[in-house]
Structure 1
Amino acid sequence: MEKQEEKDAIFATSELVLNIKSRMQQMNPAQKKIAKFILENLDEVQGMPIGEMARRSQVSEATVSRFVKFLGCGSYRDFQTEMVKSNALKHEKIRGYSDVQNLDGGYQLCKKIFESNIQSLVDTLSIIDSEALEKTADLIVEKRKLCILAQGRSMVTATSIRQRLYRLGISCSCYSDPHEQAITASLLGEGDLVMGISTFGRSKNLLKNLRLASRNKAAVIGVSSYRGTPLEKISDIMLVASNNEEASFGFEPSCSTVSQMVMLDCLYIMITQRMKEEAQQCFLKSCDAIESERE
């Protein structure tokens, strides 16, 4: 029988590893070499001299020094201190999308995919900025209006939160077309809220239109799965989820989308808390309207 009782606990990934993963998109080729070496050799890296780290990563010692400072460590010694903390929390590597084999049976395949998504959720909880979420909830409840800009797969997240918010009576629009985004951004002004959703935080058209909205004095809320992105630099409030996807995987995993949607689910519930009975009344009215459409 393929399916077995497996109850392995899934723990949050260490802060250092999450920091490295969240900044991969901003690294230059040399930095990515170091990051890849560290992530693939966590057990060996602890206590490793800087010279050996440089040699095995195929970069210079100066590059390693710049890399650890890029991560926020004051020195290589500080980096090694963080490695000790990281390995104190280590656990068995969760197998994910990139570990799927052609010969995997149905249950084994499902287990790998589920574990990868669960790991992303656990990691997101460990880094979530609840104060930023609460501030966003306060603004949305105060303004009762939100414009969402997104493209590609990020539209899945965008349409999900839009649908839930307008059922609470909040005026919520969502645009993916660059021209529609540009028109909308040009008409936003002081007191308006715009949310930009981008997994990598680097979509050119999206960023251009968010900058336009910002110049018009609209408040920008960014949603991404990476730190240090162009999106973060132009956002007044930044909401960051974890991303447990492997860049080398040949298909399109859903980890970042799932973790972003659950993070925004927290935002949604915070909004309902603030709206209290009004939220309940709006939701019940919308339920009655939908029920009349069912056979």
Structure 2
Amino acid sequence: MAKPLEYEIKRIYASLRKSEQKAADYYLGYDGPVETMSIAAMARAAGVSQPTVMRFVKALGLEGFKEFKYQVLKASMGGNGSGMGEEEGGRSEEVLRYGYEISARDRPEEVPGRVVAQSVSYLDDALKHISPSSIGRAAKLICGARQIAVYYVENSASVAGDLVTKLMYLGFNCIMYNDIYLQHISAGNLDSRDVAIGISYSGSSKNTVDVMKLAKKKGAATIAITNFEHSLIAGHADILLCTSSQQLLYGNAIFSRMSQTAVVDMIYMGIILRDYGHFTEKLDESSRIIRRQAY
């Protein structure tokens, strides 16, 4: 989870003075109760002056240190925490979730900071949920496979394509399917020498779940990349690579690919480290083939 006001701080961070950045760094790394801290205590702990702390707070668009602590407390209790007040009439501003918190009041110049900060938050969340041993087991299965079949639908296409490209660069017999008929034909012809990888953010995409179930029935080893531990696809996975546990309402394609692409890179590096000399040689060979196709 992001720290209260973290997005706003990171958005303005580059525009802060060095001393103000020290105040920002202290807050972002502080785990204690900010709402009971005095401005003097924060300044002393951050190694800056009290006016510097005030400039940092005002750069966030807040009136003073008291409002800063209020916004931190409000966000910690589940409020907006964005430094914005309520609309006229006391009705809280509606916040739509499309992978990122966004509202009609947001400004275009806030976009870079918000997107990067949220991306970091999702990757941090993925790191907490991914088991290093599961990555190692997945790499081992792939290295011993006769062929690797990758199944996906719609929004998972970019992640599947990235995975297949990386595996082919390493010399694996790998293919991806998103056509429902080809998926079932492929899964029905797998056996214990093969590995099936299903990619589904929700873990409930019917086609992907069904072919993973079939692949497992045929004896293939199965790996699932999903966001939720207790999902339908998890029941058909020998190895579950779960990137998070939080659910936003809309826009799965926007934010799921960040964590899942990171998982692909983890598998890729895990494979290379199983036989560094062999796989770096394969990468050199693949690079030579690509170069020969260029003018």
TM class by smaller structure: 0.5 to 0.7
Distance 1:175 1:96, change over 3 A: closer
Distance 1:150 1:292, change over 3 A: same
Aligned runs of 1:51-130 on 2, under 5 Å? 97-130=99-132
1:139 aligned residue (129, 138, 141): 141
Match of 2:285 in 1: 285
Distance 1:11 1:136, change over 3 A: farther
Match of 2:77 in 1: 43
Structure 1 residue 200: Cα displacement: 0.4
What SS does the corresponding residue of 1:221 show, helix, strand or coil? strand
Match of 1:187 in 2: 189
Distance between the aligned counterparts of 1:116 and 1:101, measured in 2?
15
Q: Which runs of 5+ in 1 are unaligned?
A: 13-39, 45-94
Distance between the aligned counterparts of 1:128 and 1:135, measured in 2?
12
Distance between the aligned counterparts of 1:149 and 1:208, measured in 2?
10
CA contact (8 A) 1:245 1:255 kept: no
Match of 1:218 in 2: 220
| TM-score of the superposed pair, with normalisation by structure 2 | 0.66
Distance between the aligned counterparts of 1:253 and 1:212, measured in 2?
26
What SS does the corresponding residue of 1:113 show, helix, strand or coil? helix
CA contact (8 A) 1:145 1:171 kept: yes
Structure 1 residue 275: Cα displacement: 2.4
Structure showing greater Rg: 2
CA contact (8 A) 2:212 2:222 kept: yes
Aligned runs of 1:160-199 on 2, under 5 Å? 160-199=162-201
Distance 1:243 1:292, change over 3 A: farther
Structure 1 residue 182: Cα displacement: 0.3
Structure 1 residue 144: Cα displacement: 5.2
CA contact (8 A) 1:243 1:259 kept: no
Structure 1 residue 106: Cα displacement: 3.4
CA contact (8 A) 2:202 2:227 kept: yes
Match of 1:202 in 2: 204
| TM-score of the superposed pair, with normalisation by structure 1 | 0.66
Distance 1:11 1:239, change over 3 A: farther
> Amino acid of the residue matched to residue 220 of structure 1?
T
Is 1:256–2:256 an aligned residue pair? yes
Match of 2:150 in 1: 148
What SS does the corresponding residue of 2:240 show, helix, strand or coil? strand
Distance between the aligned counterparts of 2:112 and 2:207, measured in 1?
36
Distance between the aligned counterparts of 2:30 and 2:150, measured in 1?
33
Distance between the aligned counterparts of 1:11 and 1:285, measured in 2?
48
Number of equivalences: 216
Is 1:4–2:15 an aligned residue pair? yes
Distance 1:146 1:97, change over 3 A: closer
What SS does the corresponding residue of 1:265 show, helix, strand or coil? helix
Match of 2:276 in 1: 276
